[in-house]
Amino acid sequence: MLGVLALGLVACKGGAGGNANAAGGDKKASAPPADVTSAPTGAPIVAELTAPPFVPAPIMRDKPAKVVVKLEVKELELPISDGVRYTFWTFGGTVPGSFIRVRQGDVVEFHLQNHPSSKMPHNIDLHAVTGPGGGAASSFTAPGHESQFSFRALNPGLYVYHCATAPVPMHVANGMYGLILVEPPGGLPKVDREYYVMQGDFYTVGKYREKGLQPFDMQKGIDEHPTYIVFNGSEGALVGDKALTAKVGEKVRIYFGVGGPNIASNFHVIGEIFDHVYFEGGTNAQEQVQTTMVPAGGSTIVDFTVNVPGTYILVDHALFRAFNKGAVGMLKVEGAEDKVVYSGKEVDSVYLSDKADPGAGAAVATASAAAEAGKLTVEQQVAAGKALYAGTCSACHQADGKGLPPNFPPLAASDYVAATPTPILVGHVLNGLTGPVKVNGVDYNGVMPPMSHMTDDDIANILTFVFNTMDNKKGAVSREDVAKVRATTPRPPGAGH
């Protein structure tokens, strides 16, 4: 069975602030024995399903019930990155699918509805189901049809669900996964905020951030070479005004899962230590954990207290995935500072890439659209280049372009930039530059890595920004300029995505 990386953050109904009424208890909840044999009591309950990063409210019932879950499959064209669209197959219209919350001992009546506009049959394998296929054989559903089956939630924990229709890896790779939480009697230990996040890997024909509608690439999936590795279905799904939120002193819980289909996660929140980690979505917790591994098709529950304000960055700590494939999110914490605990306020922007500025994506998208229409201006290139420079170049060359001797030469008021032909400078960005170079009379000796994974548009916009700001006057660079150099300059194997 293929699973999905689910980073689960539970939030309250009605705001990104999280669920402030989560159930109480100790790190291992002391609870009455689970009743998994008695008939459900009371009228059937229609389950509340929530889109990520939100989760339904904790269950306060003290007895098992019959719970009706209705989940609709939709095949939708949605953004996966700025200016990049992808045809997702979804449970509930989102990636990951709707969060499901039930109680141990509940009898779940599950309805799977496949929208008439779908082109494929689908089903569902819930890892919380005890029975062959986890419900897959009982839920095979053609477009325009609805299937129904029932199961009893025997085991508490956090479980992945996913489509298991052939070809299974393709269905999962298109976003068909989610989380179901089976609460123990008495609920989970009390926290102030709960969130739902999942990680998944996606395989497109085009390179990372190549614009337009991108088809699925089966061979990349077979080779396990993802174009994107993201939280909640798209690059930037948890940044800027879509970031998770909390207040100083609050305890935050993240329900985290990995759908895959291939790539496990090394989940880490920069600037935090997990108080408790319920490994693999189970009921026993480890304490004081920095980074936790979650397999494809697996999950975890992490709790931590936020002590100081600022922006905390969620990453897959296999860091190329964060910096170069999209596995980045944010938790923004407001409240009083505590200089004894931590004297700083902000995370270094190198971890935020060009998503650090909520307006960065808009500037890049505007320039891309103008380029496609043949109406791109230098001003639009400079705005897009500024956003891209902040996330890609500023760590070494610095935000003001003055560099860091003796390794990183200045770009501001640079005699090297002024005297070097544009195609050679484009080649430096595409293929890197190693060894000594003299700039403004000073010798520098460092290593600039190749940036050939970047699109022609992005490289052109960054260079146009540098050429027209920082006391430089060198004109504009077009995507055609970059494409010509890319086509004629040798690059080492594997230099691109």
Report how far apart, in Å, the C-alpha atoms of 172 and of each of 167, 327, 389 are.
9, 18, 34
**What's the pLDDT score for residue 3?**
36
Which position has the token pair 């337009």? 212
Q: Three-state DSSP class for 102?
A: strand
CB 39 within 8 A of CB 110: no
Whole-angstrom distance, CA of residue 151 vs CA of residue 300: 23
Which segments of the chain belong to CATH 2.60.40.420?
1-352
**Torsion on CA atoms 61, 67, 73, 78, rounded to nearest 10:** -10
What is the enclosing helix (H) or strand (E) of 160? Answer: strand 157-162
Pick the CATH number of 1-352 from 3.30.1330.60, 2.60.15.10, 2.60.40.420, 2.60.120.560: 2.60.40.420
Q: Does domain 360-488 have CATH number 1.10.760.10?
A: yes
Global confidence as pTM: 0.74
**What's the pLDDT score for residue 490?**
66
Which segments of the chain belong to CATH 1.10.760.10?
360-488
**What's the pLDDT score for residue 30?**
47
CB environment 345-381: b (16+ within 10 A), e (fewer): eebebebbbbbbbeebbebbbbbbeebeeeebeeebb
Residue among 4, 1, 7, 3 at smallest CA distance from 327: 7
**What's the pLDDT score for residue 2?**
33
Q: For residue 140, which phi and psi values (nearest 5 degrees)?
A: -60, 120
Q: For residue 401, which phi and psi values (nearest 5 degrees)?
A: 80, 10
Report how far apart, in Å, the C-alpha atoms of 96 and of each of 3, 6, 156, 204, 485 are.
11, 7, 21, 18, 40
Q: For residue 363, which phi and psi values (nearest 5 degrees)?
A: -65, -40
For the chain, residues with pLDDT lower than 50 are: 1-16, 20-30, 345, 347-352, 354-355, 492-497
CA torsion sign, 160 to 19 to 14 to 309? negative
**What's the pLDDT score for residue 395?**
84
CB environment 266-300: b (16+ within 10 A), e (fewer): bbbbbbbebbbbbbbbebebeeebeebebbbbbbb
**What's the pLDDT score for residue 434?**
84
Q: For residue 48, which phi and psi values (nearest 5 degrees)?
A: -80, 125
**What's the pLDDT score for residue 39?**
86
